[in-house]
Amino acid sequence: MQISFIGAGKVGVSLGKYFISKGRKVGGYYSLSPKSAAWAANFTNTKQYQSIEEIISSSDMIFFTVPDDKIGEVWEAAKPYAHGKIIAHCSGIHSSNIFSDIDRTGSMAYSIHPLCAVSDRETSWQALGGVLFTIEGDERNISNIQNMFAQMGNRTCFISAENKIKYHAAASLASNHMTAVFFMAQKLFLECGFSMQQANEELYRLAKGNLENIHAQGCINSLTGPVERGDKNTVQKHMDALDADMKNAYLENAKQLLEIAEQKNPDRDYAAMREILMPTEIGE
């Protein structure tokens, strides 16, 4: 089976390079930017296609690795040539339903999303080994798609179209939003006199240790800190020391910590902590 890519950005190039490294046959790339497609083809030692018609007719499976808001538009241009093909995109938020009227083409549609951060075109492919790919789409061929990734050493998980948005939100919380929390902590360390290098290194060690505990024990058993202890005075002092935006972020995270704490310590009275974090609810 020959696989090709419409779109030559980070995801398309990384997947193509990774597939090749695992012995998969990759045809090449087409892009509205010929320069981008040429670079991708050269980097992966594949072909630069000159048109959508050419790349689709030459391939069995076509990944639409274009920006999320362009998938539908590019599919409309590709649809007249897509007969009996396997069509896929890598968006975390969109389902395969974005490939409208797919049944009329005799093709099968999928959304195939790697659960990892793809940050550049040149090196990210090296991190795809062992990554989970979530797959959603036509059940008639789902086992073959899963086997393709299993043979490359990847885990797969089938997900329904209805759960795609919630799934992507969860992935964003665990990845992008973690970056935001880390960024806030860095800013506070810098205000305390740490250098950027110190802040980055020491906070990384702290965060890494916490993630390792979560991985080993789960969120409930790993929870420590003032919310878990019911130390309302410390939590109040934290919030008093923060500006309005950072205080709001701290508060929303603390509410989630309180939920975990109540599960960890069901016999502990968290009423005073709840009053600090959710005063309106207490007063109702």
Distance CA 206, CA 230 (A): 21
pTM: 0.86
When pLDDT is averaged across residues 159-178 and rounded to a whole number, the result is 95
What's the gap between Cα 197 and its chain centre? Answer: 27
Closest CA to 5 of 17, 114, 152: 17
- pLDDT above 90 covers a percentage of the chain that reads 96
The residue-averaged pLDDT of 177-197 equals: 97
Task: Give the three-class secondary structure for 47.
Answer: strand
Structure tokens at 182: 């880390």
User: Would you place residue 183 in the very low, low, confident or very high pLDDT band (cuts 50, 70, 90)?
Assistant: very high
Residue among 1, 6, 3 nearest 64 (CA): 6
Residue 41 φ then ψ, to 5°: -65, -40
CA 160 vs CA 48, 90, 96, 135, 200: distances in Å: 34, 15, 10, 8, 38
**3-state SS track over 170-211:** HHHHHCHHHHHHHHHHHHHHHHCCCCHHHHHHHHHHHHHHHH
pLDDT at 22 over 50: yes
CB neighbours of residue 180 within 10 Å: 11
pLDDT, mean of residues 199-205? 97
Rounded (to 5) percent helix, strand, coil in the chain: 60, 15, 25
- Answer whether residue 58 shows pLDDT above 60: yes
- Rounded average pLDDT over 210-238: 96
Arithmetic mean of pLDDT over the chain: 95
Whether the predicted pLDDT of 282 surpasses 60: no
Q: Give pLDDT tens digits for 86-97.
A: 999 999 999 999
Q: Is the pLDDT of residue 247 over 90?
A: yes
Longest dimension (CA), the chain: 68
Instruction: State the average pLDDT over residues 175-180.
Output: 94
Using CA atoms, how far apart are residues 283 and 275, in angstroms rounded to an integer? 9
**If DSSP codes are grouped into helix, strand and coil, which group holds residue 89?**
strand
pLDDT by residue (tens digit) across 248-266?
999 999 999 999 999 999 9
In which residue are the tokens 């005075």 written? 233
Question: For residue 119, what pLDDT is reported?
Answer: 87
Tokens (6 digits) for 207: 């965060």
Q: Stretch 215-244: mean pLDDT, rounded?
A: 96
Read off the amino acid at residue 273.
M
pLDDT tens per residue across span 106-141? 999 999 999 998 989 999 999 999 899 999 999 999
Band of pLDDT at residue 281, cut at 50, 70 and 90: low
The pLDDT of residue 284? 47
